[in-house]
Amino acid sequence: MTHTDSPTATPGRALRRGLDLPDAFREFLRHPSPWMIATVLAGALIARVVVGDWRWSDAAVPAVVLAVFPAFEWVVHVLVLHWRPKRLGPVTLDSELARKHREHHVNPRDIPLIFIPTRSLAVVVAALLAITVFAFPRTGLGLTFLLTVTVLGLCYEWTHYLIHTDYKPKHGLYRAVWKNHRHHHYKNEHFWFTVTTSGTADRLFGTHPDPATTATSPTARNLHATP
């Protein structure tokens, strides 16, 4: 499998070669989505400490969210990010997330396209705040949920970003995650949809084939194109 840049790549600031981990982290901090998520996380942490009222159910929420997250990540990737634009009369149904993700596949090394778009993230944050306030029987439990989700969101942004840099895996767990997502971009876009884990939801939903026996897709860099 050869990882080469597309000659039709979208313009943008590309990741430089030979990036080490400190340099990668400094670049990560130059983008808005990590700061947006971190701000919500900090607010949730402060509010959770102030509210108090700790109960055993506060331990159950992170456990449930962690268990569900790989499947949630898979569903969002398949149904939202890989959404095929649809015409409804004069209107084209196509979200910013789907558009930006198609651009991300064209050039996986374009830095801004790696991150969650700011406008879409603002909508997600608003939805999470509404869930925090209205979907839980007590304020503390809702804040525990918000705290858990924002930690996972920050982990997602960092992991996704790091996979697309030239930082090479040094540990087995990250190497598996790295290979899983790189296969999705450079081997076949119809498989390997999880980003922060490997062999979890993809195995569950049948999208974790053997890369050695999986055909290289001609449309991995141009989603929804006709081969």
The tokens for 118 are 């700011």
With respect to residue 110, please indicate whether it lies within any of the assigned structural domains: yes
Q: How many domains does the chain have?
A: 1
* pLDDT the model gives residue 5: 38
With respect to residue 14, please indicate whether it lies within any of the assigned structural domains: no
| Burial tier of 161 (Cβ tally within 10 Å: 0-12, 13-18, 19+) | buried
With respect to residue 126, please indicate whether it lies within any of the assigned structural domains: yes
Q: Which of 162, 139, 152, 160 is nearest to 20 (CA)?
A: 162
* pLDDT the model gives residue 227: 74
With respect to residue 184, please indicate whether it lies within any of the assigned structural domains: yes
With respect to residue 89, please indicate whether it lies within any of the assigned structural domains: yes
With respect to residue 5, please indicate whether it lies within any of the assigned structural domains: no
Q: What is the pLDDT along the chain (227 residues), one digit of tens a residue?
A: 433 333 333 345 554 556 789 999 999 999 999 999 999 999 999 999 999 999 999 999 999 999 999 999 999 999 999 999 999 989 999 999 999 999 999 999 999 999 999 999 999 999 999 999 999 999 999 999 999 999 999 999 999 999 999 998 888 999 999 999 999 999 999 999 999 999 999 999 999 999 999 999 999 999 988 77
Do the beta carbons of residue 210 and residue 179 sit within 8 Å? Answer: no
Q: Which of 55, 64, 67 is nearest to 137 (CA)?
A: 55
In which domain, by residue range, is 31 found?
21-213
Q: Where are the beta strands (DSSP E) in the chain?
A: 86-88, 91-93
Global confidence as pTM: 0.90
* pLDDT the model gives residue 16: 52
